[in-house]
Structure 1
């Protein structure tokens, strides 16, 4: 079971910590454990309850009414809402609960319903990406366990692969050639897969080299394929002090290709970009470049 601080609950649900403390005292809606120094900690059931309460409040339920509901009644009300109303925050809440419960059936229902309603790209941009961002902080602080994080990211990865496989195999002769890879030691593949989908959707050709590619193998592949553009996501590797030298090395090794980079280690950082290199700050920027 994962453990959450009251700040974790605030970040995930949007309900202020001060409000949660009042509800805890007035309605006993949460049952935190307390340390010897009286610091609250919460479990998975507490987090699910807060997420459900947040969703019901957003739909006009009063906290005094919600407090009277059993856990089963609370869940049933949330299911009714999430099935009849499709808005992004509600679906992000529902995805979080499916992750905590390791519920593949619930995940499939949420994602498939949203893809049918909004389309694959909009579902990824407005629901999946904010959801991944929301759990990212909790993952870094150890509040979400590896099993839960691996479970949900692998399901998202499967959806992306199926979507890519469903694209037309024919590419117009005027489409650009892209080469996609992650640096050696980098395994966060979701953004790279989504970039693959976006680029292919816009009538470009993609060679996908995937995770943790040694630099000499990138050089070898580039010499064979001769891409117009190289795209990579730098999230955790290389480390901070090694990012600028790595960017410079890419630019020098491939002067005839445009190098597109995104990820935590380059976006919003003081990276000096050589003439053939560009930082992709948002997914919409990649859409424009690939169009």
Structure 2
């Protein structure tokens, strides 16, 4: 089956509506039409998910379910668009982004992001909307509730916004030197890009190597620029069995620098960290970390 399929538990996790409530809506208002597998197991498709996400958003904002049930799909969508344009609650915006991702609606996704950036700024949009949204989607992607194409679609659009924001920060000299990279095989760079943005925003120098950096390239750039800090985020690569060796190698090879580590393979794991390692529990903590450094005195 090429289309995505969802259990009622998946719908609950994505929409925030309890499974019990969804069943009541299904029975009382014929709101959903579950399908059944050959073994008689109920499941829902993309159209069901899109509908319930829209219904949940309207219901959360005071629309009675009895009224929503009488609306056709274009009317429901029109109301959601109007609502997401005027509301400022973070949960509503996260909900709107989820709908855009499921529908692969690039224009709408971009508009929601751009509107929030204009209203609350880029940094707050990342911290209060994008990160909670990505956390929610990450869990569902790992459980197979959303497909890789939807996850890549969303990540690429967020990545584009981050690159534009980073380019808007002009280095004026002074500050510390940060070398940012991902290990070989590691492709999840949203957190590292956001760290690059915050570091540049504070006036420091960033050397950004990005995804899947070969060890030889990292060593070459390090020798050229002698950074004060190395930073990486390890989500999937190296894996659990190799990550300790990788950390030890980094710390031994680059002992003159402080090494900032974060990511799924680092946090909460049974690892030993040498003295020149700083573990960042959440990537947003980089902001507090930067505040502790000496203020940047820009070169004249």
In structure 1, the partner of 2:8 is: 6
- The alpha carbon displacement at 1:141 in A equals 2.7
- The alpha carbon displacement at 1:227 in A equals 0.7
In structure 2, the partner of 1:161 is: 163
- The alpha carbon displacement at 1:115 in A equals 0.3
Runs of 4+ displaced beyond 6 Å: none
In structure 1, the partner of 2:52 is: 50
- The alpha carbon displacement at 1:198 in A equals 0.9
Q: For the residues of structure 2 that align with 1:269 and 1:63, how far apart are their CA atoms?
A: 45
In structure 2, the partner of 1:274 is: 274
Q: For the residues of structure 2 that align with 1:132 and 1:138, how far apart are their CA atoms?
A: 10
Q: For the residues of structure 1 that align with 2:188 and 2:286, how far apart are their CA atoms?
A: 18
- The alpha carbon displacement at 1:39 in A equals 2.1
TM-score, normalised on structure 1?
Answer: 0.95
In structure 2, the partner of 1:194 is: 194
Q: Across the two proteins, how many residue pairs are aligned to each other?
A: 289
Q: For the residues of structure 2 that align with 1:14 and 1:272, how far apart are their CA atoms?
A: 38
SS in structure 1 at match of 2:235: coil
1:72-221 equivalence runs, <5 A: 72-171=74-173, 173=174, 175-221=175-221
Q: For the residues of structure 2 that align with 1:148 and 1:285, how far apart are their CA atoms?
A: 28
2:74 is the counterpart of 1:68: no
**Unmatched tracts of structure 2, length 5 or more:** 292-300
Q: Aligned-residue CA RMSD in angstroms?
A: 1.3
Q: For the residues of structure 2 that align with 1:4 and 1:137, how far apart are their CA atoms?
A: 14
Q: For the residues of structure 2 that align with 1:133 and 1:151, how far apart are their CA atoms?
A: 15
Contact 1:204–1:290, Cα closer than 8 Å, also in 2: no
SS in structure 2 at match of 1:100: helix
SS in structure 1 at match of 2:179: strand
TM-score, normalised on structure 2?
Answer: 0.92
Q: For the residues of structure 2 that align with 1:11 and 1:27, how far apart are their CA atoms?
A: 21
In structure 2, the partner of 1:257 is: 257
**Unmatched tracts of structure 1, length 5 or more:** none
Q: For the residues of structure 2 that align with 1:64 and 1:73, how far apart are their CA atoms?
A: 14
